[in-house]
Amino acid sequence: MKIKLFLFAAAFFALLSTLTIAQVQLTGAGATFPYVIYSQWFDLYHQKTGVQINYQSIGSGAGIRQVIEGTVDFGASDGPMSDKQLKQAKEKRGTEILHIPTVMGAVVVSYNLPSVKEILKLDGKTLGDIFLGKIYMWNDKRIQELNPGVKLPDRAILVAHRSDGSGTSFIFTNYLSKVNDEWAKKVGFGTSVSWPVGLGGKGNEGVSGLVKQTGGAIGYVELAYAVQNKLPYLLLKNKDGNFVKADFNTVSAAAEGASKNMPDDLRAILTNAGGKNSYPISGFTWLLIYKDMKDKVKAKALVNFLRWALEKGEAYAKDLYYAPLPKSVVKLCEKKIDSITVNGQRIN
Amino acid sequence: MLEQIKLKNKIFFTLNKVFSRSIASANTGDFIYKKLTQFFAFLVFLLVLVMGYEMYVGSKLSIDKFGWNFLVNSTWDPVKEIFGALPAIYGTLISSFLALLISVPLGLGVAIFLSELSPNWLEKPLSFLTELLAGIPSVVYGLWGIFVLVPLLRNVVEPFLFKHFGNLPFFQGAPYGFGMMAAAIILSIMVLPIISSISRDVLKSVPNSQREAALALGATKWEVIKIVLANSRSGILGASMLGLGRAIGETMAVTMVIGNRALISPSLFDPAYTMASVLANEFTEASSDLYLSSLIELALILFAITIIINVAARIFVWSFEKRWSSVG
């Protein structure tokens, strides 16, 4: 009996001691795409400093809403907040929202043509026409021109897209809007759009399921997902006219290319970025931070975490199939972090 | 004398009534218990009202903007912020009715076999297995749909239908496997256990004297079953309606196989969309107020349709019960 009581007391104190160390608790919510690396970061950072960060991957749209409502300490999103949303947040929360890029992802276009051994090449205009339903056969003249010498089958194209709202769709449709005028006019871009043709699959696994199973299918998935599942994907023609394969280097190159004329609020959409090796469908994912915070302890913990993530955290990106930020962008982010204040005062 | 007895009785009953009531009210425990349970019962009702009200408030923006057009407009474009629920309503109702079309005869067959024909040693394991179907998570059905059902439809069933019945509007277009047909079949399997197990219970509850009487009059086995079925019509209808309720609200499995396009097409090969799928797909990433509000309005419509179907089911069942009670 006594032993039991003792054990119980010991367990209780052990619990208490962990609680006292983890005084600082931060809550965040938002994007699902960076969830894997964020949870790794939060875990490592917790071990290192005792600061506990709870992150709920409820989706970018919901994350932005939580930031505007002020129910979280920070948010996360795969698409930048719109001007209207920023204004709304400022009215409700009385402070600006900073966009801090953390890692990058890319979207690749996968296809299923068992008879074609070569890796296909496409440009943005043609890709857009396929997703508009204007090109509907694989042996179309326009596809053939981009792939000289490849024997394309006389087969109907089945377009597969995401049915659920997602940052992946946002980046992909944003790219198509930049490179295909008709797409921009008819469909536009967003986390969900009204797709002119094709079938919708839920999640990356839904789209890749459609593509894998159906001969003649074409669809877009996250680079990380395609790499992990060994899906074949297209080479895409970038702004400089080169056919580029998506990998961590070409994605980082896109950020490098964009960093030269990065907007001041870092809300850059990297699609169709310039640069010889830039992969054209890549994008940042952001943490959404209040520029002026109320709670000094929390603010300090959050700022320290952000600095740590950019200095040390980036190294974990590649193992988890994310592209790390190039040095030039990290510098811009650090400058942004320096501007965070608590009740108007700078954090040292 | 008679008058006196009557008066006595009257007094006795009145006293008795007053007395028993005074006992009940004297016991505070009973009183509290009664009120508490009453409160809980009304709480359920209140919950439904609050849910409906909350959804109405949440969808105010979209109701003001689109009005009744929301119900008849067939465009769903989050980018241009034009929202119409017609394709989703169509997809929900059609997929559910098609599912019932398949599962009611099937479920009824299972129920008849289990309650009337099956030998005792077979009945238990068989009914256990059908009920087991109800316990499988819907995402598992969805995965089975993607990896087994859809390829089967694409490679065998749909080309066959196209070849032999291709001039009908129901079997036109390219056979992708994903689409209305896959959704309806998945749904029919999911509602089958509900329909079969409730129908079986209903059939079993028909008194044996009915069967024995019919047999004694020289009825064949088939005629006996017909009599049993006629006696339990209302229960079977109720079971089907419950199945319909399940089919309308089903989300995950349908989302995985229906193709998710806001499209109204008579062809079963074409992709479609259901209200529950739209919500599951788009709710988390809806960032603009109008978009969110339209999604909530869609939820409100789904809520209303579910209530209407359940009420209709009840009314059906009651009217049947009345007829049977007057006959019996």
Q: What is the pLDDT of residue A305?
A: 94
Nearest by CB to A61, which of B259, B261, B287? B287
Answer with the one of A216, A233, A254 that is the final residue of a domain.
A254
Distance from CA of B84 to the nearest CA of A (A): 12
Lookup: tokens for B15? 């006293």
Q: Are residues B190 and B315 in the same domain?
A: yes
CB of A282 within 8 A of CB of A106?
yes
Structural domain for B10, as ranges? 1-46
Model pLDDT for residues A266-300, shown as the tens digit of each residue: 888 889 988 889 999 988 999 999 999 988 899 99
Closest chain A CA to residue B255 = A202
E strand or H helix at A236: strand A235-237
Q: Which residue in the block uniquely carries the two structure tokens 């659920």?
A: A164
Closest chain A CA to residue B175 = A214
- What is the ipTM for the molecules in this complex? 0.76
Q: Are residues A137 and A186 in the same domain?
A: yes
Q: What is the number of structural domains in chain A?
A: 2
Could you give the C-alpha distances from A293 to A59, A211, A290, B28, B144, in angstroms and in order?
A: 23, 46, 6, 55, 49
E strand or H helix at A209: helix A203-213
- B285 and A201 within 8 Å at the Cβ level: the answer is no
CB of A250 within 8 A of CB of A277?
yes
Give the CA angle between residues B151, B153, B154 to the nearest 5°: 60
Lookup: tokens for A327? 């040095």
Distance from CA of B295 to the nearest CA of A (A): 12
In a domain, B275, yes or no: yes
CB of B198 within 8 A of CB of B239?
yes
CATH of the domain at A133: 3.40.190.10
Q: Are residues A201 and A114 in the same domain?
A: yes
For residue A200, the cross-strand partners are: A161
Give the CA angle between residues B187, B189, B191 to the nearest 5°: 70
Q: Are residues B148 and B207 in the same domain?
A: yes
From the candidates A172, A174, A191, which should be mutated to test the interface with B, based on the most B CB atoms within 10 A?
A191
In a domain, B21, yes or no: yes
Rounded-to-integer distance, Cα A214 and Cα A158, Å: 8
- B282 and A165 within 8 Å at the Cβ level: the answer is yes
Chain B residue numbers with beta carbons less than 8 Å from the beta carbon of A189 are 79
pLDDT at residue A326 above 60? Answer: yes
- B284 and A164 within 8 Å at the Cβ level: the answer is yes
Structural domain for A290, as ranges? 2-105+283-346
Distance from CA of A163 to the nearest CA of B (A): 6
Count of CA atoms in the C-beta half-sphere (13 A) of A100: 27
Q: Are residues A121 and A249 in the same domain?
A: yes
- Describe the crossing of helices A327-338 and A248-259 by its angle, rounded to 10 degrees: 50
Q: Are residues B211 and B311 in the same domain?
A: yes
Q: Are residues A243 and A119 in the same domain?
A: yes
A209 in contact with B, Cβ within 8 Å = yes
pLDDT at residue A344 above 90? Answer: no
Rounded-to-integer distance, Cα A315 and Cα A305, Å: 15
- B256 and A187 within 8 Å at the Cβ level: the answer is no
In a domain, B104, yes or no: yes
Q: What is the number of structural domains in chain B?
A: 2
pLDDT at residue A154 above 70? Answer: yes
Rounded-to-integer distance, Cα B242 and Cα B233, Å: 14
Q: What is the pLDDT of residue A102?
A: 94
Closest chain B CA to residue A192 = B78
Model pLDDT for residues A209-266, shown as the tens digit of each residue: 889 888 899 999 998 888 888 888 999 999 999 999 998 889 988 888 877 778 888 8
B261 in contact with A, Cβ within 8 Å = yes
- B262 and A194 within 8 Å at the Cβ level: the answer is yes
In a domain, A276, yes or no: no
Distance from CA of B152 to the nearest CA of A (A): 11
CB of A172 within 8 A of CB of A193?
no
Q: Are residues A250 and A324 in the same domain?
A: no
Q: What is the mean pLDDT of chain B?
A: 86
For chains A and B, CB pairs below 8 A equal 100
Rounded-to-integer distance, Cα A258 and Cα A273, Å: 6
Q: Are residues B163 and B35 in the same domain?
A: no
Q: Are residues A74 and A178 in the same domain?
A: no
B144 in contact with A, Cβ within 8 Å = no
Q: Are residues B24 and B108 in the same domain?
A: no
Count of CA atoms in the C-beta half-sphere (13 A) of A39: 10
Nearest by CB to A188, which of B80, B177, B259? B80
Q: Look at residue A172 and give its three-state secondary structure.
A: helix
E strand or H helix at B76: strand B76-77
Nearest by CB to A164, which of B75, B146, B281? B281
Q: Are residues A119 and A189 in the same domain?
A: yes
> 10 Å Cβ neighbour count for A162?
30
Closest chain B CA to residue A60 = B285
- State the amino acid at position A286 in one-letter form: W
In a domain, B98, yes or no: yes
CATH of the domain at B265: 1.10.3720.10
Q: Are residues B5 and B130 in the same domain?
A: no
Closest chain A CA to residue B145 = A209
In a domain, B214, yes or no: yes
Q: What is the pLDDT of residue B328?
A: 44
Q: Are residues A100 and A201 in the same domain?
A: no
Q: Look at residue A283 and give its three-state secondary structure.
A: strand
B151 in contact with A, Cβ within 8 Å = yes
Environment class of residue A264 by beta-carbon count within 10 Å: exposed (0-12), middle (13-18) or buried (19+)? Answer: exposed
Q: Are residues B308 and B203 in the same domain?
A: yes
B262 in contact with A, Cβ within 8 Å = yes
Rounded-to-integer distance, Cα A37 and Cα A105, Å: 12
Rounded-to-integer distance, Cα B224 and Cα B205, Å: 15
Q: Are residues B237 and B162 in the same domain?
A: yes
In a domain, B257, yes or no: yes
- A62 and B285 within 8 Å at the Cβ level: the answer is yes
Lookup: tokens for B238? 């109720």
Distance from CA of B56 to the nearest CA of A (A): 20
Could you give the C-alpha distances from A34 to A45, A53, A101, A289, A301, in angstroms and in order?
A: 16, 15, 11, 16, 20
A198 in contact with B, Cβ within 8 Å = yes
Model pLDDT for residues A28-65, shown as the tens digit of each residue: 999 888 888 999 999 999 999 989 999 998 888 888 98
Model pLDDT for residues B167-206, shown as the tens digit of each residue: 888 888 778 889 999 999 999 999 999 899 888 888 888 8
- B255 and A193 within 8 Å at the Cβ level: the answer is no
In a domain, B51, yes or no: no
Chain B residue numbers with beta carbons less than 8 Å from the beta carbon of A92 are none
B154 in contact with A, Cβ within 8 Å = yes
Rounded-to-integer distance, Cα A243 and Cα A276, Å: 9
- A59 and B284 within 8 Å at the Cβ level: the answer is yes
Distance from CA of A317 to the nearest CA of B (A): 24
Chain B residue numbers with beta carbons less than 8 Å from the beta carbon of A202 are 255-256, 260, 280-281
In a domain, A262, yes or no: no
Model pLDDT for residues B48-69, shown as the tens digit of each residue: 999 999 999 999 999 999 989 9
- A202 and B80 within 8 Å at the Cβ level: the answer is no
Q: Are residues A198 and A240 in the same domain?
A: yes
Q: What is the pLDDT of residue B238?
A: 84
Q: Are residues B122 and B181 in the same domain?
A: yes
Q: What is the pLDDT of residue B58?
A: 93
Q: What is the pLDDT of residue B59?
A: 93
- B282 and A192 within 8 Å at the Cβ level: the answer is yes
Percentage of chain A with pLDDT > 70? 93
Q: Are residues B215 and B116 in the same domain?
A: yes
Nearest to B99 by CA among B186, B22, B19: B186
Model pLDDT for residues A182-196, shown as the tens digit of each residue: 999 999 998 889 999
CB of A126 within 8 A of CB of A152?
no
> 10 Å Cβ neighbour count for B21?
10
Q: Are residues B67 and B42 in the same domain?
A: no
pLDDT at residue B232 above 90? Answer: no
CB of B267 within 8 A of CB of B171?
yes
Q: Which residues of B160-194 are buried (b: 16+ CB within 10 A; e: fewer)?
A: ebbeeeeeeeebbbebbbbbbbbbbbbbbbbbbbb
Distance from the Cα of residue B157 to its chain's centroid: 27
Nearest by CB to B284, which of A82, A165, A188? A165
In a domain, A261, yes or no: no
Q: What is the mean pLDDT of chain A?
A: 88
CB of A184 within 8 A of CB of A149?
no
Model pLDDT for residues B292-325, shown as the tens digit of each residue: 999 999 999 999 998 888 887 777 767 766 655 5
CB of A323 within 8 A of CB of A251?
yes
Closest chain B CA to residue A59 = B284
A61 in contact with B, Cβ within 8 Å = yes
CB of A187 within 8 A of CB of B79?
yes
CB of B314 within 8 A of CB of B73?
no
Q: Are residues B225 and B258 in the same domain?
A: yes
Chain B residue numbers with beta carbons less than 8 Å from the beta carbon of A85 are 287
Lookup: tokens for A84? 């209207």
Nearest to B282 by CA among B260, B254, B264: B260
Q: Which residues of B199-215 are buried (b: 16+ CB within 10 A; e: fewer)?
A: bbbbbeebeeeebeebe
Nearest by CB to A193, which of B78, B147, B154? B78
